[in-house]
Amino acid sequence: MPSMNWLNNMVTPLWNQPYEDQLSTKQTNTREFLRNLSKMLQRNIGEMSPWLKQQRKNHSGMECELQPIKPSPVLESYDNKCEFTIGKSVDGIDNTVGFRLGAYKGKYFL
């Protein structure tokens, strides 16, 4: 049986960081995602290139402005919904709990 820390790390990877660090990590990850998205768009949609180039210049390498993440006023005892699939693993042999990777009719599990 996996430890609770393993499960926490898989489901909520920032669970053991102070809240301010979580916000900082999320801001950094979002900024990097937007920069990578902008580069991908520029590579794949050539006609957008001039507009994207200007947007990236205006927004620190991103195609749009990134607002700071707003901290939640509630830090404890809030409801958070997370649904897991329980069933057979991809190999069809082992039972597993996880997130579904495909359609129900395709019988894909994590």
Residues 8 and 15: beta-carbon distance below 8 Å: yes
The 10s digit of each residue's pLDDT in 57-100 is: 999 888 899 999 999 888 887 666 667 677 777 777 777 777 65
The pTM score is 0.63
Structure-block tokens of residue 43:
């590579």
Structure-block tokens of residue 101:
């990777």
The Cα 55–Cα 62 span in angstroms is 7
pLDDT cut 70: percent of the chain above it = 77
